[in-house]
Structure 1
Amino acid sequence: MTLASLPIFVAARGRTVILVGDGDAAAAKRRLLERAGARVVGEDGTAALAIVAVDDEADAQAVVARLKARGVLVNAVDRPALCDFTLPAIVDRSPVIVAIGTGGVSAGLAAALRQRLEALLPPTLGRLAEALFAARGAIRARFADPGARRMALGAAFAEGGALDVLAAGPEAVERWLESAGDAPGGVVHILLRSDDPDDLTLREARWLAQAERICAGDDVPAAILSRARADAVRTASLPAQPQPGLTVAIHEPTQPT
């Protein structure tokens, strides 16, 4: 599967952003930009990003053309074909921000997903993130190897884990550090039941998401491999010597484990 766009978070505080237009749509974008700390200017301003909220089609196209000719990246409200970037629906649990985008094809769908996530994500999530940031030195000291640290945190964040992201409060971080055992590691084998990644068990999906290395032949479907971390090392055979962290070996049903 290929991403239609590359999701990024822009540090907007103190950054100048052009906003062109008036009416409700422009007012809503202004509130969003100002809440993020951006400095809003008009079309003649100098900026790398611009939002165009102009109702008239011809006028909107003209503004977009002028801005793009200056090398400005443009978001044209309700005109995805003219957009260099889109603005997602946002769930704010600062410093945790969840963004839902549809590439501009359905703002209503993004809004509906946001409403579901608003009900799902606890208000303590931001404070949990801040507690983890405050404890980063202690976490690094406890798990000096980056792979081991990633694995330990991944297990703690899982459903029912010590730092379950939908249940744990900030006080859970200190308790987890006091009781944390060794991070999982070694080699685990996944014998595929089908080419559909949705047929992976929850445990198998977690292994893929946390593994430092993925051992898979050319016959393993790309859809399965897409569930692994993008920065995981990919190999065709298992390493000759034991490696730190977790290695996942994926096998098609016809292959021996």
Structure 2
Amino acid sequence: MKLPALPLFHRIAGHPVIVLGAGEAAMAKRRLVERAGGIVYDDLAQGLDAGARLAFVAHDDPQACAGDAARARAGGALVNVVDQPAQCDFTTPSLIDRNPVLIAVGTGGASAGLAKHVRLRLERVLPQGLGTLARALFAARGALRARWPDAAERRRALDHALGEGGALDPMVAHDDEAVTRWLEGGARDGESGFHTITLRSEDPEDLTLREARLLGMADVLVAGADVPPAILARARADARRVRENEGGLEGLVVALVRPEGG
């Protein structure tokens, strides 16, 4: 089974990136690198000498791919061998660009076509002005810190506003002043306290909208060993996880329990 990947956004503007190969696959990677502002090197040794830490290998010959991939790794670069996910240190997702919001859809190299069609569906529902909201939130960082000096409280307030139907719901178009109006006219503290979710099944789709929202916003997750991984995957990845209620837990605490006899 393929190990899970850690999704990252890597800034390459102005930095060298190696792209090896002469066919359309190599040209596609070249365009991808240039779109992100990277400086393409098509010579492995020169690229490594320039300090490249990423390399795309797209030869038609599998042996040439394996050889250049090994040499690139030996030179300290992370390698993507096109159409060979087992030989990749990283993969390239399908992208939705709502500058500065960038959404990546990846399948770990399993199917670029699947990633593309998921992206196309998402493109239809994400407002074109999503970047406007992101820029407004960036500009309001000082005001947000002044209103909620505690980072956890600030995050919970934003969770409340950005949630479905909230004042800053990202699935709704907003203008440049939306965040200012929210701060000046009704910004509320976010949800906190202890909440219990009694699971009806092992399927996360059986969670109600409120339960899914609480799970996704929880600061602390109380869950025994019998809670299905598929349910736990819906929680924040950085949420604190404990086996039982230890007392004194702060913020939004969500306990996942199974019904007795379930």
Amino acid at match of 1:254: E
From 245, 254, 259, the counterpart of 1:253: 259
Contact 1:217 1:236 in 2 (8 A): yes
From 221, 236, 239, the counterpart of 2:228: 221
Q: Which residues of 2 match residues 1-150 of structure 1 at below 5 A?
A: 4-41=4-41, 42-44=43-45, 45-46=47-48, 47-150=52-155
Amino acid at match of 1:164: D
Give me the whole-angstrom Cα distance separating, in 1, the residues matched to 2:115 and 2:128.
20
Give me the whole-angstrom Cα distance separating, in 2, the residues matched to 1:57 and 1:2.
21
Amino acid at match of 2:200: R
Deviation of 1:239 after TM superposition, in Å, equals 4.7
Deviation of 1:110 after TM superposition, in Å, equals 0.9
Equivalent position of 1:174 in the other structure:
180
Contact 2:14 2:39 in 1 (8 A): yes
Give me the whole-angstrom Cα distance separating, in 2, the residues matched to 1:29 and 1:188.
47
Give me the whole-angstrom Cα distance separating, in 1, the residues matched to 2:163 and 2:192.
16
Deviates more, 1:64-73 or 1:186-195: 64-73
Contact 1:151 1:184 in 2 (8 A): yes
Over the residues paired in the alignment, what is the CA RMSD in angstroms? 2.0
Deviation of 1:244 after TM superposition, in Å, equals 4.3
Contact 1:196 1:224 in 2 (8 A): yes
Q: Are residues 1:202 and 2:206 paired? A: no
The superposition leaves residues 138-157 of structure 1 with CA deviations (integer Å, 9 ceiling, x where unpaired) of 11221222222212111211
Q: Are residues 1:234 and 2:241 paired? A: yes
Give me the whole-angstrom Cα distance separating, in 1, the residues matched to 2:212 and 2:3.
20
Give me the whole-angstrom Cα distance separating, in 1, the residues matched to 2:210 and 2:171.
18
Deviation of 1:254 after TM superposition, in Å, equals 0.8
Contact 1:147 1:244 in 2 (8 A): no
Give me the whole-angstrom Cα distance separating, in 2, the residues matched to 1:215 and 1:66.
47
Give me the whole-angstrom Cα distance separating, in 2, the residues matched to 1:252 and 1:131.
42
TM-score between the two structures when normalised by the length of structure 1 = 0.91
Give me the whole-angstrom Cα distance separating, in 2, the residues matched to 1:220 and 1:63.
45
Q: Are residues 1:161 and 2:166 paired? A: yes
Deviates more, 1:126-135 or 1:196-205: 196-205
Contact 1:184 1:246 in 2 (8 A): yes
Amino acid at match of 1:249: A
Give me the whole-angstrom Cα distance separating, in 1, the residues matched to 2:108 and 2:245.
39
Give me the whole-angstrom Cα distance separating, in 2, the residues matched to 1:7 and 1:129.
20
- Structure 1 218/60 Cα, relative in aligned 2: closer, same or farther at 3 Å? closer
- Structure 1 202/62 Cα, relative in aligned 2: closer, same or farther at 3 Å? same
Gaps of 5+ in 2: none
The count of corresponding residues between Structure 1 and Structure 2 is 254
Deviation of 1:93 after TM superposition, in Å, equals 0.9
Q: What stretches of structure 1 move > 4 A for 4+ residues in a row?
A: none
TM-score between the two structures when normalised by the length of structure 2 = 0.89
Deviation of 1:3 after TM superposition, in Å, equals 5.4
Deviation of 1:92 after TM superposition, in Å, equals 0.8
Amino acid at match of 1:35: R
Contact 2:93 2:106 in 1 (8 A): yes
The superposition leaves residues 61-99 of structure 1 with CA deviations (integer Å, 9 ceiling, x where unpaired) of 332232233332111112222211111111111111111
Contact 1:148 1:244 in 2 (8 A): no
The superposition leaves residues 178-223 of structure 1 with CA deviations (integer Å, 9 ceiling, x where unpaired) of 2112222111111111122221111111101111112223332333
Contact 2:127 2:173 in 1 (8 A): no
Q: Percent identity at matched positions? A: 55
Gaps of 5+ in 1: none
Give me the whole-angstrom Cα distance separating, in 2, the residues matched to 1:111 and 1:204.
30
Equivalent position of 1:184 in the other structure:
191
Contact 1:162 1:168 in 2 (8 A): no
Deviation of 1:27 after TM superposition, in Å, equals 1.9
The superposition leaves residues 118-162 of structure 1 with CA deviations (integer Å, 9 ceiling, x where unpaired) of 222111111110110000111122122222221211121122111
Give me the whole-angstrom Cα distance separating, in 2, the residues matched to 1:162 and 1:64.
49
